Amino acid sequence: MTPRKLSRGVAVVGAGMSGFGAFPGLSTRDLFVDAFLDMRRSIDQGLDPATIEALYLGNFSSSAFEGQGFIAPLTADAVGLLPKPSTRVENACASGGTAVREAMIAVASGLYDVVLAGGIEKQTDLPIARVTDVLATASDTQYEGPAGFTFPGLFGALATAYMDRYGATPEAFMRVAIKNHDNGAVNPRAQFGKRIDDIMAAKRAAAERKGRTIPDWADELEFLADDRANPVIAWPMRLFDCSPVSDGAACVLVVAAELAAQFTDSPLHIVGYGQASAGAAHDRADLTSLSATRDAASQAYAVSGLGPADIDLAEVHDCFTIAEIMATEDLGFFDAGRGWAAATDGATGRDGAIPINTSGGLKSKGHPVGATGVAQVVEVWKQLRGEAGDRQVPGNPSLGLTHNLGGSGQACVVHIFQRRS
């Protein structure tokens, strides 16, 4: 079935995010205020907040993470949106991307002209074991739970299937981590503002200070293969293959395309959009590829008339390093089974054929679950407007793609953004 197009053009005219990291004493509402103020500063002609007509808010589990359900109206209140309608959107790690999509559809419907799409999560108040348990509620708790799966475990299993099919080695996963840390080191909002070799230097210095044996890793790969420095979490996923536990918020202002000029001369038009669902891992025929990504991407390409070769850069859902490799194949940037080699030979770097996760990705920027899909749009906003500073992709990019995944691949949302001026 050919996907239908929106009956009205929709554009993003502002985008902002809080810092991502661990922020004791700040709730999701506080972080959302930071993101909201950052978004307001990004709007070239300024924003009268009273023009915002509705809020769609991506959030996975504020109920469990901060003991606060029913989070949307409280968040709307925090940024002065009352009495406008506010709705929480939950789609696991794809909650943020889904909120952007719902905001887009709401504007395209003609019901609203100006809608705020946001995302929030506050994970660091809980001990790590509880965080693992809360995240695991996004798996199939009737079957994957009793099997003992965790989220690193589910992606570890996808990784073993991928390695077996295509001969990939853990070095490819390490290359993704090294690249995303390189990018995150030049993103002031990233949780880890450090390259892997900076982390190695810090560990060597700490060992020297404490009078311990100074580790003699020859390079980043040797560090990442060290069981003590980079312990296995769920084979073959090690600590540095996993995105961190994070707090953060992000929001973007979504408006009718015909009104975009009131806000900025450089809006991002949402020219591609797709969303798909899939079953639990054991219900899928193939574990080396994610059907929800392929389905969402094919919709986004079909409605935009674009193909993967047209895209200048992409923010993809690297909750685990294997997920980035699979995404670059399922989005069509590389053939099936070629993504791991592409990650190894630098094709996904900032100056590569298709820059992937210039923000640092979930891996280095951080992964406050519900905020992630919205923050991906924030990075594309900066890159396409030439505002990405030290991590700016060269060549005046005009087309950027976001790929937001839920669970182990049960949900996927893809958007393609275009700057026309």
Q: Give the footprint of other proteins on this chain (CB under 8 A).
A: 129-130, 132-133, 136, 140, 142-150, 152-154, 156-161, 164, 231-237, 280-283, 287
Minimum Å distance from CB 289 to other proteins?
12
Looking at 181, 317, 367, 415, which residue is catalytic?
367
Q: CB-wise, 127 or 394, nearer to other proteins?
A: 127
Minimum Å distance from CB 299 to other proteins?
21
Minimum Å distance from CB 128 to other proteins?
8
- The span from the CA of 225 to the CA of 238, in Å, is 9
Q: Is the dihedral of CA 381, 385, 390, 392 positive or negative?
A: positive
Q: CB-wise, 126 or 353, nearer to other proteins?
A: 126
Strands 10-17 and 247-256: antiparallel
Q: How many residues does the chain have?
A: 421
Is 93 tagged catalytic? yes
Q: CB-wise, 45 or 143, nearer to other proteins?
A: 143
Query: Buried (b) or exposed (e) across 393-410, using 16+ Cβ within 10 A?
Result: beeebebbbbbbbbbbbb
Is 367 tagged catalytic? yes
Q: CB-wise, 53 or 226, nearer to other proteins?
A: 226
Phi, psi of 211 (to 5 degrees): 70, 20
Question: Comparing C-alpha atoms, which of 309, 301, 300, 356 is closest to residue 328?
Answer: 356
Between CA 371 and CA 329, with CA 252 as vertex, the angle to 5 degrees is: 60
Minimum Å distance from CB 83 to other proteins?
41
Minimum Å distance from CB 188 to other proteins?
30
Give Cα 247 to chain centroid, integer Å.
Answer: 13
Query: What is the residue whose two structure tokens read 């589910």?
Result: 154
Q: CB-wise, 280 or 306, nearer to other proteins?
A: 280
Active site residue ranges = 93, 367
